[in-house]
Structure 1
Amino acid sequence: MHIERAGPDDVRGLARLKWIDRAADDADPAEFDSFVEALGSWWEAHQATHSAFIAQIEDATVGAAWVALLPRVPSPGASDRLSADIQSVFVMPEHRGRGVGTALVDAATAHAHSAGASRVTVHSSERAVPVYRRLGFAGSPKLLQRIAEA
């Protein structure tokens, strides 16, 4: 397994993973190329704040994780504050349980910390909560959320 920071040439593979993870069973495969284009355009517009990491096994992209760097309001003595958010982690089902997700989250977290993020958060699925806890993520009584009303 090899983990690397994704580049523009990886957009199709990133889109494929996101499509497999999120597309409904009735999704029209003909829409995939439009999704690739939309993801590429979105990433180009957000490249200053969002980085993707990919896991490759034998030249096949089998997993991905995104990290968003979020500028925070300056404080006295700390004018360049950052937080980070791990997003859209996905590993192909046949490669789960082999450390791929752990390696992706570790790479994304290391990138966030090296960029200066003082904290890294993740909004996890129920299934992945134990994995994130094992990786050192913990709940915080000071980190709250408010869900938008429908």
Structure 2
Amino acid sequence: MRISRAGGDDLAGLGRLLWLDAVGEEPSPESVDAFTSDLERWWAGHRQSHVAFVARVAEPVIVGMAWVALLPRVPRPGATQRLSADVQSVFVLPEHRGRGIGSALVEAAAEHAAQLGALRVTVQSGRRAVPVYERLGFAPSRQLLQRTVTR
């Protein structure tokens, strides 16, 4: 297994994994190709704030991904370069799960954020993945609150 930072040439593989991860949860685009075109446009505008990591078992196929969104925080006296990070869209193809690929991807994303000086790394997880994130050092926080937007 090899974990690396994704580049522009990985967009087709990332698009495929994002599309597979969303099937059955959200309205699907007409095709993976149509979604990948949308992802390419999005990527062009978000390369500074969102970094993807990919896992490969055999070249060139991407079998897993994890994204980290980097959010500059309001400066404070003595701390003008504050940064938070959020791990997002972790997905490993079902036939490759249970081998530590997802954990390695999350570690790569979190380490990248830490190297950039992130004060904290958060993740929103499905119930089944909570034990995995806890093993990786994530813990619930009473101070991190959220409000669901109603439309």
**Paired residue secondary structure (1:117):** coil
What is the rounded CA distance, in whole Å, between the counterparts of 1:4 and 1:11 in structure 2?
13
TM-aligned CA deviation for residue 31 of structure 1: 2.3
The two structures have a TM-score, normalised by structure 2, of 0.94
Q: 1:125 maps to what in 2?
A: 126
Q: 1:99 maps to what in 2?
A: 100
The two structures have a TM-score, normalised by structure 1, of 0.95
**Paired residue secondary structure (1:136):** coil
Pair 1:55–1:149, CA change in 2 (3 A):
same
> Hey, which bits of structure 1, 4+ residues long, moved more than 6 A?
none
Q: In the alignment, residue 115 of structure 1 is paired with which amino acid? A: L
Q: 1:12 maps to what in 2?
A: 12
Structural RMSD (CA): 1.4
TM-aligned CA deviation for residue 24 of structure 1: 2.9
For the pair 1:56 / 2:56, whether they are aligned, the reply is yes
**Paired residue secondary structure (2:52):** strand
Which digits, 9 at most, give the CA deviation of each residue in 1:57-100, with x for residues without a partner?
11121000000110000000000100000000000111111000
Pair 1:49–1:27, CA change in 2 (3 A):
closer
For the pair 1:39 / 2:39, whether they are aligned, the reply is yes
Structure 1 gaps of 5+ residues are none
Give me the identity figure in percent. Answer: 58
TM-aligned CA deviation for residue 4 of structure 1: 0.2
TM-aligned CA deviation for residue 27 of structure 1: 4.5
